[in-house]
Amino acid sequence: MKANERALMGVEALREGGPVFARLAVGMLVMFRQVDPKRASAPQPKSKAAKRAWGKAHFRFVRSSVVDLTDTHATLRVESSGVRKVFAKCEVNNIVVVGWD
């Protein structure tokens, strides 16, 4: 239930929020939108539109923190696993939400 609430909150924040990259700072707590990796092995549709529709139904928001910033990229560390992910500026503005639930 908590994951569903986090997803709803994240989607709403993405709709309302503007550019996030300029507001990021090292150590800030954020969440990013990710297609659910547990479902990634499931059979997926072939057409581009069908893939988008599938992705809209099978995503989650992952808790992370900002560990490094450059002019063009942000490095986030996933809090549950410690894995670091690097996102470009345009990706950050499209999938990152500031704050946690």
Domain holding 94: CATH number? Answer: 2.30.30
User: How many structural domains comprise the chain?
Assistant: 1
- Per-residue pLDDT at 39 exceeds 80: no
pLDDT in tens, 18-28: 778 888 999 99
Sign of CA dihedral 64, 30, 20, 58: positive
What pLDDT score was predicted for residue 67?
A: 96
pLDDT band at 42 (very low <50, low <70, confident <90, very high): low
CA 24, distance to chain mean position in Å, is 14
Q: Which two tokens stand for residue 68?
A: 């490094």
Q: By residue range, what is the domain housing residue 49?
A: 2-98
What pLDDT score was predicted for residue 96?
A: 87
DSSP 7: H
pLDDT in tens, 45-90: 678 887 778 777 778 888 999 999 999 999 999 999 999 999 999 8
pLDDT band at 40 (very low <50, low <70, confident <90, very high): low
SS3 9: helix
CA distances from 26 to 1, 21, 78, 81, 91 (A): 30, 12, 14, 19, 17
